[in-house]
């Protein structure tokens, strides 16, 4: 299982950045995780227009770790 994280920075700077953690994961495959990272990057201007996606990371987690399913 993989969790998606995306580094976003204010446009024109590289020193004011935040890390977004995906609320929909974790994902079964790394490819699904990467696809979600790109989806977040594409949709970012709709929610945070002054930021741009810089990097992503797919972190492998064990099945018993991660988010609580309710």
Structure confidence by residue, pLDDT tens digits, 2-61: 999 999 999 887 689 999 999 988 999 999 999 999 999 999 999 999 999 999 999 998
Structure tokens at 70: 């309710």
Tokens of 27: 């994902």
Q: Whose CA is closest to 48, among 22, 10, 12?
A: 10
Task: Give the N- to C-terminal CA distance of the chain in Å, as an integer.
Answer: 18
More confident residue, 65 or 11: 11
Q: Residue 26, preceding bond cis, omega within 30 degrees?
A: yes
């Amino acid at each position: 299982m993989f969790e998606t994280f995306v580094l976003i920075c204010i446009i024109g700077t590289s020193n004011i950045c935040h890390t977004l953690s995906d609320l929909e994961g974790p994902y079964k495959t790394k490819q699904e995780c990467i696809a979600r990272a790109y989806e977040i990057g594409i949709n970012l201007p709709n929610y945070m227009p002054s930021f741009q996606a810089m990097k992503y990371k797919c972190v492998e987690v064990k099945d018993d770790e991660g988010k609580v399913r309710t």
